[in-house]
Amino acid sequence: MIPAPEEIVLAGPAGWLWLAAAGTLILAAIAPLASRRLASIGALLSTGAGLSILGFGIVVLIGGGTYTAEWGQVLGLAPIALHYDGLSAVFLVALGLTSAAASLTVVGRPVRSRVEASAYPLFLASMLLVLGARDAFSFLLAWELMALLSALLVVGLRPTRSVVSAGYLYLAMTHVATAALLVAFALLATGSGGALDFVAWRGAAPSLSPMVHDAVFVLAFLGFGTKAGTLPLHAWLPRAHPVAPSHVSALMSGVMIKTGIYGLVRILVDVLGGGPDWWGVAILVAGAFSAVLGVLYALMQHDLKRLLAFHSIENIGIILLGLGAAIILAAHDQDALAAMALTAALFHSINHAVFKSLLFLGAGAVLAATGLRDLNRLGGLARAMPVTALAFGIGAAAISGLPPFNGFASEWLVFQGLLGAAGSTPVPPLERMGAGLAIGALALTSALAVACFVKATGVTFLGLPRSSAAADAHDVGRPARLALTLLAAACVALGLGAGPAVAALTRVAATLIPPGSAAVTATVSAAPAAGPAATYAALAIGLLLVPAVAFAVFALRRAGSARRVDTWTCGIAPQPAFQYNATSFAKPIRLFFGRLLLPEREIHIEYHPGTPFPLAMRYRSEVTLILEDRVFRPAHALSVRFAELVRRVQSGSLQLYLAYTVGAVLVLLWWAR
Amino acid sequence: MIELTAAVLVLVPLVGGGLAWVLPADGSRRVAAVAMTVTAVVGLGLSGVCFGLGAIRAFGGLLVLDALGAYVLALTVVVAALAMAASPRYLRHELESGALRALDEARYYALLLWFLAGLVAIPLLDNLGLLWVAIEATTVVSALLVGITRTPQAIEAAWKYLILGTIGLGFALLGTLLAYASSVPALGETSEALAWTRLVAVAPMLDPNMLRLAFLFALVGYGTKMGLVPFHTWLPDAHSQAPSPISALLSGVTLNAALYALVRFHLVAIGGLGEGYSSTLLIGFGLLTIAVALPFMVAQGDLKRLLAYSSVEHMGILALAIGFGGPLALLGGTLHMGLHSLAKSSLFLSAGELVQQYGTPRLARLRGALGAAPIAGGAFGTGIVLLAGLPPSGIFVTEFAIVLGGIQRGHVLAAAVAALLLSLAFAALAFHGARLIFGQPQSTTPQGGRGRWLAIRLAVPLAVVALLGLWTPDPIAAALDAVRAILGGTHG
Amino acid sequence: MSGAAALVDLALAVLQLGLFLAVAPLLAGTMKRTKARFQGRRGPTLVQPYRDLAKWWSKRPLASSTTGPVARHAPAVVFGAFVVAALLVPFAAGRPPLAGWGDLFVVIGLLATARFVLALAALDAGSAFGGMGSSRDVAISALAEPGLVLALAGAALAAGSSDLGTISLFGLREGVGLLGPSHLLAAVAFGIIVVAETGHHPVDNPDTHLELTMIHEGMLLEASGRSLALLVFASELKLVLLAALFAAAFLPFGAATELAPLPLLLGLGIGLVKVFLIGQGLALLDATVAKARILALPDLLGLASLLALTGLGARLLLVP
Amino acid sequence: MSLDLATAAHLLDACASGIVVVGVLIAGTRSIGRAVLLLAVQSIFLALAAAIVGASTGTGHLIVGAVLTLATKGIAVPLILGRILRGSPVRFERRPYLGRRSSLIVAILIVFVTTAAIDGAALGRSLDAPRALPAALAEVLTGLLIAMTRRKGLSIVIGLLVFENGLALTAFSLTYGMPLVIELGIAFDLLVAIVVVWVYARRMLATFGSLSTDELRSLRG
């Protein structure tokens, strides 16, 4: 129940698009409550809203310009105060694309519960507000709304015990993180005489003392980092994302955690205008650890959605590498390079949104088709669900950073940013070395990502089915397939069209970090550009690959149809159990990185009675999540024990209680004497 | 006219209580209903008038109702009405289960009305001495209500409440004495010398040392009643053992009343001693209170005790807000007071439903409330979320304002610590809440109460809390601002 | 760019690609021969690899009944990726034929694409050996990647750009001055990586088919006919490619600095010699060093990354 | 009837000393019955003090206050406590937290400390009774001491009443008492409180069979 608009400056086509999106979302939220039959229409409406958000984002991104609006009042504060600019637009594009596709997958599916069905569009709306909020109050309001709704969607109304605890952990962590944000914002507000407006803060930021700047940085990193799921604030992510409904997981991994990145850029770069280079170093370190550990843990999973969740941590790490490089470079006035690194971070944010939601929706399709998330029981699905398989494969290639897909383009830019940081002399040697190490970390990460997605794709879609459920799977409905195709196409489009995309994002980055006149040392372009600067001619390379591959394909075709025979398995009829599965595929890496992963395994062998011949064998191997298992759990247990200890104070003895009062009185008298 | 209304406001519940005591059960129920309605209408009307036309004075200045008083009065009658509305259903269950005897019903209503009489008197009295008398009276009466179910725990709780409350209020009396002593030189030995309107007026002329001690003891005394650590020890016992409607009243109203009294002293103190002294004390005790309440919420085994400790926590927040001072924090504090009353009373009522249905307050045994009792469980879950200050909850706004205001007034560390503690308190509350709402109920648990009326009773206050988080209508905004101005004291 | 320059580029591209394709099997042949000599055998003739390719090319393919489009098209993609990569590496001249199309990261990316597709294809047949091969291959290249990137990044930092043309031109300009400690360290690191990537001792055994030891071969086990031909050809091409990359980044001496016929021919010749020598080096390794346990590889490849890092450190921290 | 300030001051001091002595005795006794009796005596002293102040300073309402005190604290309350005591099986403190001798010592210490610390004359009131204020605060503390160190519910109530007496004496010595309305209110509250105590004492006896607070330890944490 929001009162009539007080001020709407959401003008022009963009304005209409925004209003269309908002209106559709509200309708979509009401529809399921109205009647169960309308629920699927709600999904359709959400799709439409997603598309208009996408349109809105593109218009703002290309057309530039800003759009503001304001509604309602509480204690003289406006609950909804919007101001969309280029930075918002970057994430709006991600939101639009992802939400359109995600909503499309649930069109025509029976709704699990009407409450959730109506919470879902509101969740989209909350993200739309977060990206537009122009002051601390409306931002935190939308932010908390987003957290609450996503948590509701994760938990649902009839959750199992583990789901509840996952949702609880998520909500609690994000709420504590928000407290940090609140303090950070309050500090900024005091700087600008109590004004809550981001713009006002930008003006007042220089007048704040460096100590305040650092405090804000730390708090903002805690607050936004938790939402983004960077190490060591990630504990909630791999637990909450897998248990959510797949289209929600897609949105959470694709967009919601990006709002953390958005917040970091908005506050650190836009409002504070960068900072000392130790900020950048801190972000770089967090990013490197997130990337490497994220992908390593992902490799160790055999639950498909959990695997994808860990990859979100990895990609957030990659984005942070770009951001960290940008801040370090900006701190030493290498603005051209800094802008490029920032562009890298923004571009990877969009790309990750696309391919991660694609992968989650693909996993959702697999789940819908087989009811399985356990890779070790999947296999051979490519035959039954070719579209899903192809789309998932493209997503896998993209997230593994392979040309000519979009993931490679943004990782290439991140590499260039780090290279710039390592190479520019004004940056102190140690920081340069840090950037060098980050390059190594990123290389390791992308190689491990290749390994992980060979495993995920291969074990799921190739070979022989490992369970009956996988054996008689059927591809998902047309809307879902359409959504997957859409996103896969986006992966290719953003890969080949990286040139224009990067150009647009560079304009945005330039508004945040004005790049002086210095020459750019690396460019992603469509057409080749000779010269000393490193280039990635995305379109040209892509187009060159086509004939190169096509020729070979043609040659293969000429050989005529192959004679079909069984796979050679040393003379026995091939069986699914012969294949490498998720666990065995990852074994070499599990052993290579044993010091880090601390794997533990148990093998049960039952023998034929009285013989040395095994009858049945069971093998289980789990790795240790160092932070969770060795730090967080003990800490939590400790704090609870502490609470138990404190509760002894309330011993039930009246006399003791009196003693407290008297003691307090005496202390007070002594204090006030 | 005003005299008459004021008299009606206090006398109706007083006399009604007398009637209820002598009448048979259903008769007393009717009397209670009528008296409650009248009191509510008159009370709201009176505060409405006050907000509309400014402060009201009657009986030669013995009664004064300014915006702050009007606000407290309005909250009092509203929450009391909620509690009263919940009472018949509650009593029916208790009588059926044999926890109460037939005779107790009439007594319950009588005591409830007398309790109400004391509560509505508090914000009217322009005299610190009579204020004390009224508060002590409510303590004594409510002590009887707390122990009305003669279970050993109830008796224990009531006994502790009585003793600790009386001794605590003894300190408040000492404070009042000192205030009197400090003002006698200025105002002479008349009851004038205890009229806070006058005291605030002549505050600069008061004997500072006396005033210092006066506020100190008032803090101890009313702090006891309001549940500031370390004087809170009685609170979880009493609030958890009392009949749920009474718990709602205790948490939703009495705490506010005590706070109100303390605020009057605070205003005199900042008038006489300036900012530093009383504000520092309030901030200190506020933080201590929140910090100590936290572990008790984390490792809590009893549903109603959990809510009680959350009340303690929120009183800490209010003390903090008033200590911070400054328009933003005070505005936040003002709204917070009201929203906490509404949310907490609704929570106690739904918790009461659940406790009666499951037959135990032990959190370990309360599971799957959403399935077993859709209405009460849903209301409880929503209430927890709103109370914890997740949007769209007014409490989100108020906590935002309080922390922001605190930092703007330079209390960066205090505000930051408070923000952290609050979020942790939410974690604790949500932990127990989640396990209560979801999960599998034992097959033995009977189906929970249904009925539109129950739903409305529980939902309306929550709806208000939620709505105020997005939009405060202008009249309410104006009223809050008026209260804020008074809380602001000399530097409103 | 002007039409003439474009024409030169095209000619250069065709020339380089043709040369690589032509030389790749020969290089393999020479290496086999050397190895055989060391083992006291005469070994196959130098043209044997050509014969093998021709034989497979003309055979009717066999395909596992479980395989699908992935296994069918993978060889083409692998081959195509290598072909494109081959055009991005400077060989005869200090600049690659397709100057300004992509830098060293693009080359590495294309190699990764090939690896990704091949590893996937190996899983398609559903045999244990394919899985073993792809699992081990991706694991080993995961260990190799940091060293590879860091070594090249060192060179890139020295040249001030990750563009391979710029790097090798810088090397040509520097001359002997290039051979600083950091450069040598990076070069050694890259050498180790080449061994791992091309699958020679002590990392892999190029011509074993002993199930439990094979890595790269394991992935080719289910391929036959033209698919096998393409895959083998591709891996031979990969060797030339990596050798050329090594030469371009770490010993570009002799490459032409301007696009005149004579220097180009000279550069061509010198380039071939470099590639040949590198090949012989690898063969030497195969013949003399024993294949290491797979669990010993992290140490070896970790050493490579470490050397590369030390090189980087020497460049960033020591040099003022 | 009027009284010149000098004599009044002496008399007031005398009453104050009497109150203090009685307080010490209460702290020192283990028999609850005796404690009740002493409490009555103390209240009578208090009433006397009120009367003296009233008579000397001409604040007439204090006479009323004196009568009130006598009626409630002096007569009604002790009677009620007596009733409760008669109902209870155990009539003296068996094992107080602080033993008889030591609590006696502490009580005396309290008196010394307050007398030494607080100078009643400093108030500079027309009725200059330097003992009154220290005595009052001594009683406040003694009352708290008793309440804190006794196990039996009734003894705690007695402590509470001593505490109340202390407050009242403070009122007389500090400001010649409070305005009448308030005195009335306070007295009324006290009476009601004692009645409620009575009610609960009976319920405790009915439920636990004793007034010992050791029974009241079930509500924790």
What pLDDT, on the 0 to 100 scale, is given for residue A563? 87
Q: Which residues contact C14 (CB under 8 A, 6 or more apart)?
A: none
Q: Which residues contact A645 (CB under 8 A, 6 or more apart)?
A: none
Neighbour-count burial of D190, counting CB atoms closer than 10 A to its CB (0-12 exposed, 13-18 middle, 19+ buried): buried
Is it the case that residue B491 has pLDDT exceeding 80?
no
Query: Mean per-residue pLDDT for A640-648?
Result: 90
Q: Residues of A with CB below 8 A from B295's CB?
A: 642-643, 646-647
Q: Residues of B with CB below 8 A from D186's CB?
A: 132-133, 136, 173
Beta carbons of C134 and A462 less than 8 Å apart: no
At residue C126, φ and ψ (nearest 5 deg) are 75, 25
Is it the case that residue B490 has pLDDT exceeding 60?
no
Task: Return the closest-CA partner of residue A56 out of A111, A14, A19.
Answer: A14
Instruction: Work out the percent of chain D whose per-residue pLDDT is above 90.
Output: 50
Report which listed range, A609-623, C213-227, D101-115, is most confident: D101-115
CB C125 within 8 A of CB C66: yes
Residue carrying the six token digits 């200045």: B61
What pLDDT, on the 0 to 100 scale, is given for residue C52? 93
Question: A644 vs A100, A173, A640, CA distance in Å?
Answer: 49, 22, 6
Q: What share of chain C is helix, strand, coil (3-state, %, to 5)?
A: 75, 0, 25
Q: Beta-strand (E) ranges in A344-462?
A: none
Is it the case that residue C170 has pLDDT exceeding 50?
yes
What pLDDT, on the 0 to 100 scale, is given for residue A2? 32
Q: Of A6, A74, A135, A243, which to mutate for an interface test with B (greatest number of B Cβ within 10 Å)?
A: A74
Q: Residues of A with CB below 8 A from D219's CB?
A: 652
A260 alpha carbon, distance to own chain's centre: 9
Instruction: Work out the percent of chain D whose per-residue pLDDT is above 70.
Output: 95
Tell me how many domains chain A contains. Answer: 3
What pLDDT, on the 0 to 100 scale, is given for residue A290? 96
What pLDDT, on the 0 to 100 scale, is given for residue A6? 38
**Domain of A650, in residue numbers:** 630-672
- How far apart are the C-alpha atoms of A441 and B60, rounded to whole Å? 81
* Other beta carbons within 10 Å of A211: 9
- How far apart are the C-alpha atoms of B364 and B357, rounded to whole Å? 15
What pLDDT, on the 0 to 100 scale, is given for residue D31? 92
ipTM of this predicted complex? 0.90
Task: Return the closest-CA partner of residue B289 out of B241, B255, B238.
Answer: B255
Instruction: Name residue C316's beta-bridge partners.
Output: none
Helices and strands, number each (H, E), in chain A: 27, 8
What pLDDT, on the 0 to 100 scale, is given for residue C2? 61
What pLDDT, on the 0 to 100 scale, is given for residue A139? 94
* Residue of chain A with shortest Cα separation from B216: A668
Beta carbons of A545 and C84 less than 8 Å apart: yes
Task: Lowest mean pLDDT of B450-454, D97-101, D167-171, name the range.
Answer: B450-454
Distance from the C261 Cα atom to the nearest Cα atom in chain A, whole angstroms: 21
A433 in the same domain as A388:
yes
DSSP H or E segment with residue A534: strand A534-537
- How far apart are the C-alpha atoms of C203 and C292, rounded to whole Å? 6
Instruction: Name residue B56's beta-bridge partners.
Output: B65
Instruction: Work out the percent of chain B whose per-residue pLDDT is above 90.
Output: 69
* Residue of chain B with shortest Cα separation from D218: B153
Model confidence at C250, in pLDDT bands (50, 70, 90)?
Answer: very high
Q: What is the pLDDT of residues A546-562, one digit of tens each?
A: 998 998 888 888 887 88
Is it the case that residue A531 has pLDDT exceeding 80?
no
Beta carbons of B129 and D163 less than 8 Å apart: no
Tokens of B219: 């803090």
Beta carbons of A652 and D218 less than 8 Å apart: yes
Is it the case that residue A9 has pLDDT exceeding 70?
no
* Residue of chain A with shortest Cα separation from C153: A419
- How far apart are the C-alpha atoms of B466 and D103, rounded to whole Å? 56
A545 in the same domain as A651:
no
* Residue of chain A with shortest Cα separation from D218: A652
Model confidence at D120, in pLDDT bands (50, 70, 90)?
Answer: low
Distance from the C288 Cα atom to the nearest Cα atom in chain A, whole angstroms: 26
Model confidence at A519, in pLDDT bands (50, 70, 90)?
Answer: low
Task: Lowest mean pLDDT of B31-40, C86-95, C117-126, D4-13, name the range.
Answer: D4-13
Beta carbons of D204 and B155 less than 8 Å apart: yes
Beta carbons of B390 and A167 less than 8 Å apart: no
Distance from the B181 Cα atom to the nearest Cα atom in chain D, whole angstroms: 6
Is it the case that residue A166 has pLDDT exceeding 50?
yes
Rounded to whole angstroms, the maximal C-alpha distance in chain D is 58
Beta carbons of D221 and A648 less than 8 Å apart: yes
Q: List the chains bordering chain A where 3 or more Cβ pairs fall under 8 Å.
A: B, C, D
Q: What is the pLDDT of residues B320-366, one digit of tens each?
A: 999 999 889 999 999 999 999 999 999 999 999 999 988 888 888 88
A634 in the same domain as A615:
no
| Amino acid type, D20 | V
Output the DSSP codes for chain D.
Answer: ----HHHHHHHHHHHHHHHHHHHHHHHH--BHHHHHHHHHHHHHHHHHHHHHHHHHHT-THHHHHHHHHIIIIIIIHHHHHHHHHHHSS--B-SS-SS-HHHHHHHHHHHHHHHHHH--GGGG--SS--TTHHHHHHHHHHHHHHHHHH--BHHHHHHHHHHHHHHHHHHHHHHHSS--HHHHHHHHHHHHHHHHHHHHHHHHHHHHHSS-BGGG------
Domain boundaries, chain C: 3-318
A408 within a domain of the structure (yes/no):
yes
Q: List the chains bordering chain D where 3 or more Cβ pairs fall under 8 Å.
A: A, B
SS3 of residue A351 by DSSP: helix
DSSP H or E segment with residue A600: strand A600-607
Q: Residues of A with CB below 8 A from D152's CB?
A: none
Q: Of C123, C169, C209, which to mutate for an interface test with A (greatest number of A Cβ within 10 Å)?
A: C123
Tokens of D104: 């006696």
Query: Mean per-residue pLDDT for A286-292?
Result: 96
A493 in the same domain as A586:
no
Task: Return the closest-CA partner of residue B18 out of B87, B114, B155.
Answer: B114
SS3 of residue B64 by DSSP: strand
Q: Residues of A with CB below 8 A from C61's CB?
A: 559-560, 562-563
Q: Of B228, B235, B471, B483, which to mutate for an interface test with A (greatest number of A Cβ within 10 Å)?
A: B471
Neighbour-count burial of B403, counting CB atoms closer than 10 A to its CB (0-12 exposed, 13-18 middle, 19+ buried): buried
What pLDDT, on the 0 to 100 scale, is given for residue A508? 92
* Other beta carbons within 10 Å of C2: 7
For the CA atoms of A161, A162, A165, A169, the dihedral, rounded to the nearest 10 degrees, stands at -170
DSSP H or E segment with residue D19: helix D5-28
Q: What is the pLDDT of residues D32-74, one digit of tens each?
A: 999 999 999 999 999 999 898 888 877 778 888 899 899 999 9
Domain boundaries, chain D: 5-215
Look at strands A563-565 and A534-537 and give their pairing: unpaired
Beta carbons of D221 and A659 less than 8 Å apart: no
What pLDDT, on the 0 to 100 scale, is given for residue A70? 78
Is it the case that residue C155 has pLDDT exceeding 80?
yes
| Amino acid type, D67 | V
Long-range contacts at B54-62 (CB < 8 A, ≥ 24 apart): B56/B2, B56/B6, B57/B2, B57/B126, B58/B2, B58/B3, B58/B6, B59/B3, B59/B6, B61/B126, B61/B195, B61/B197, B62/B125, B62/B126, B62/B127, B62/B130, B62/B191
Q: What is the pLDDT of residues A406-433, one digit of tens each?
A: 999 999 999 999 999 998 888 999 999 9
SS3 of residue A141 by DSSP: helix
| Amino acid type, B392 | P
Using a CB–CB cutoff of 8 Å, tell me whether A662 touches chain D. yes
Task: Lowest mean pLDDT of B73-82, B178-187, B376-385, name the range.
Answer: B178-187
Using a CB–CB cutoff of 8 Å, tell me whether A541 touches chain C. yes
- Residue of D8 and A250 predicted with greater confidence: A250
DSSP A427: S
Q: What is the pLDDT of residues B250-263, one digit of tens each?
A: 999 999 999 999 99
Angle at A410 between CA A407 and CA A412, to 5 degrees: 105
Using a CB–CB cutoff of 8 Å, tell me whether A4 touches chain B. no
Q: What is the pLDDT of residues A593-607, one digit of tens each?
A: 988 888 888 888 888
Q: What is the pLDDT of residues B61-72, one digit of tens each?
A: 889 999 999 999
Beta carbons of C66 and A463 less than 8 Å apart: yes
Is it the case that residue D104 has pLDDT exceeding 50?
yes
Query: Mean per-residue pLDDT for A452-463?
Result: 95
A461 within a domain of the structure (yes/no):
yes
Distance from the C47 Cα atom to the nearest Cα atom in chain A, whole angstroms: 22
* Other beta carbons within 10 Å of C192: 22
At residue A605, φ and ψ (nearest 5 deg) are -120, 125
- How far apart are the C-alpha atoms of B119 and B142, rounded to whole Å? 11
C217 alpha carbon, distance to own chain's centre: 16
Distance from the D49 Cα atom to the nearest Cα atom in chain B, whole angstroms: 17
Distance from the A526 Cα atom to the nearest Cα atom in chain C, whole angstroms: 9
A545 in the same domain as A641:
no
What pLDDT, on the 0 to 100 scale, is given for residue A569? 81
What pLDDT, on the 0 to 100 scale, is given for residue A664? 94
CB C112 within 8 A of CB A402: yes
Look at strands A80-84 and A67-71 and give their pairing: antiparallel
CB D12 within 8 A of CB D52: yes
- How far apart are the C-alpha atoms of B470 and A75, rounded to whole Å? 10
Using a CB–CB cutoff of 8 Å, tell me whether A659 touches chain C. no
Q: What is the pLDDT of residues B37-53, one digit of tens each?
A: 999 999 999 999 999 98
Using a CB–CB cutoff of 8 Å, tell me whether B191 touches chain D. yes
Neighbour-count burial of B417, counting CB atoms closer than 10 A to its CB (0-12 exposed, 13-18 middle, 19+ buried): middle
Question: A157 vs A112, A242, A300, B369, D169, CA distance in Å?
Answer: 9, 17, 31, 11, 64
Count how many pairs of residues, chain B against chain D, have C-beta atoms within 8 Å: 117
For the CA atoms of A557, A561, A564, A567, the dihedral, rounded to the nearest 10 degrees, stands at -10
A109 alpha carbon, distance to own chain's centre: 25
What pLDDT, on the 0 to 100 scale, is given for residue A33? 85
Look at strands A600-607 and A614-622 and give their pairing: antiparallel
Task: Lowest mean pLDDT of A462-476, B243-257, B437-451, name the range.
Answer: B437-451
CB D49 within 8 A of CB D119: no
Q: Of B404, B436, B474, which to mutate for an interface test with A (greatest number of A Cβ within 10 Å)?
A: B404
Instruction: Name residue A617's beta-bridge partners.
Output: A605
Question: A202 vs A151, A192, A271, CA distance in Å?
Answer: 32, 9, 4
Rounded to whole angstroms, the maximal C-alpha distance in chain A is 103
Q: What is the pLDDT of residues B179-196, one digit of tens each?
A: 998 888 888 877 788 899
Tokens of C149: 């990137």
Using a CB–CB cutoff of 8 Å, tell me whether A646 touches chain D. no
Query: For residue B157, how many C-alpha atoms fall within 13 Å in the half-sphere facing its CB?
Result: 26
A573 within a domain of the structure (yes/no):
no
Beta carbons of C115 and A450 less than 8 Å apart: yes
Mean pLDDT score across all residues of chain D: 88
Neighbour-count burial of A531, counting CB atoms closer than 10 A to its CB (0-12 exposed, 13-18 middle, 19+ buried): middle
Q: Residues of A with CB below 8 A from B334's CB?
A: none
Beta carbons of D218 and B160 less than 8 Å apart: no
Beta carbons of C84 and A541 less than 8 Å apart: yes
Q: Residues of A with CB below 8 A from C156's CB?
A: 419, 423, 534
Using a CB–CB cutoff of 8 Å, tell me whether D221 touches chain A. yes
Task: List A residues 568-607 in contact with B (Cβ-Cβ < 8 A).
Answer: none
Report which listed range, A127-136, A155-164, D126-135, is most confident: A127-136
Rounded to whole angstroms, the maximal C-alpha distance in chain B is 71
Tokens of D113: 């400390």
- Chains B, D in contact, 3 or more Cβ pairs below 8 Å: yes
Total length of chain D? 221
Beta carbons of A584 and C136 less than 8 Å apart: no
Q: Of A300, A318, A392, A415, which to mutate for an interface test with C (greatest number of C Cβ within 10 Å)?
A: A415
Task: Lowest mean pLDDT of A309-313, A527-531, B214-218, D197-201, name the range.
Answer: A527-531
Is it the case that residue A260 has pLDDT exceeding 70?
yes
* Residue of chain B with shortest Cα separation from A654: B160
Q: Beta-strand (E) ranges in D34-162?
A: none
What pLDDT, on the 0 to 100 scale, is given for residue A11? 65
What pLDDT, on the 0 to 100 scale, is given for residue A4? 35
Model confidence at A7, in pLDDT bands (50, 70, 90)?
Answer: very low
Mean pLDDT score across all residues of chain B: 91
Rounded to two decimals, the pTM is 0.92
Distance from the D13 Cα atom to the nearest Cα atom in chain A, whole angstroms: 26
SS3 of residue A615 by DSSP: strand
Rounded to 10 deg, the angle between the C297-313 and C128-159 helix axes is 10
A359 alpha carbon, distance to own chain's centre: 12
